[in-house]
Amino acid sequence: MSSLIDCPGLTTLPTVPANACEVIPGKVMRIAFQLLGTPFTEVNIVTEAAWTAALTATDAKKIVLTPFLSDAGDPITSAEPNQTGGNDGTTPDGTPIVESYGFSSGLFQIMGPSSAQIEALRSLTGASISLSSPTRLGMYLFCEGDKIGSIGGKPIPVKNVVIPDPTLGGRGKAVNYPLRFNLPALWSKGLTFHKAPFSLNALINA
């Protein structure tokens, strides 16, 4: 959780910078996973050579890609704040007390993967679940138009990556597996999208 308490408080309001254009990342096409601690920089994250090296690495720098993803609506939801009280006689004016920011959740469908692909991706769960320490897993978002979502070139910390069993049925429908995960409070702080001068869809696992 991330506290909202500001003590001793602002003496003046901060300046909100101007923005030349809207940030429109578009649909998330794939996700690239990497262990935290070996990130790209804002310079080499848009170089094909750096991605090829990470995909073919055999150490902690290695990156693995999901197959193509589908979604319905907003696949990464906005977090609800953690709050107590509200219209129950426990607060002075009836409004709830906001205590902290909450976590966000993600849900995508992995489109038509093989069982071998799913088993390999399920091995990521162990790196993303921890009871007493932060996650060790991060992700980059591959968005339409060859845009890469990251935290200034660093992977986005992600927790509780799980791939449950698929829903089967429907003539001519592919077997799609749900990909679920959680993102810590304020995960989007510093979120940037870099335009790659090469096709992200052409990258493959090695």
The DSSP line for 120-166 is: HHHTTHHHH--SSS---EEEEEEETTTEEEEETTBPEE-EEEE--PP
Residue with tokens 């429907």: 170
User: Sorting pLDDT into bands at 50, 70 and 90, what band is 4?
Assistant: low
11: left (phi over 0), alpha (psi -120 to 50) or beta: alpha
Give me the sign of the Cα torsion angle 201, 46, 147, 70: positive
Question: Between these two residues, 73 and 171, which has the higher pLDDT value?
Answer: 171
Q: What is the pLDDT of residue 169?
A: 72
- Asked if residue 138 lies in contact with residue 157, where contact means CB atoms within 8 angstroms, the answer is yes
The whole-number pLDDT of residue 3 equals 55
At residue 1, does pLDDT exceed 50?
no
The CA angle 159-204-174, to the nearest 5 degrees, is 75
User: Over the stretch 122-154, which tens digit does the pLDDT of each residue have?
Assistant: 999 999 997 777 889 999 999 999 999 999 999
Scan for tokens 């992200």, then name that residue. 200
pLDDT for residue 2: 47
Output the six-digit token pair for 104.
Answer: 């966000």
Q: Where are the domains of the chain?
A: 24-78+102-202
Determine the average pLDDT of the residues in 67-84: 84
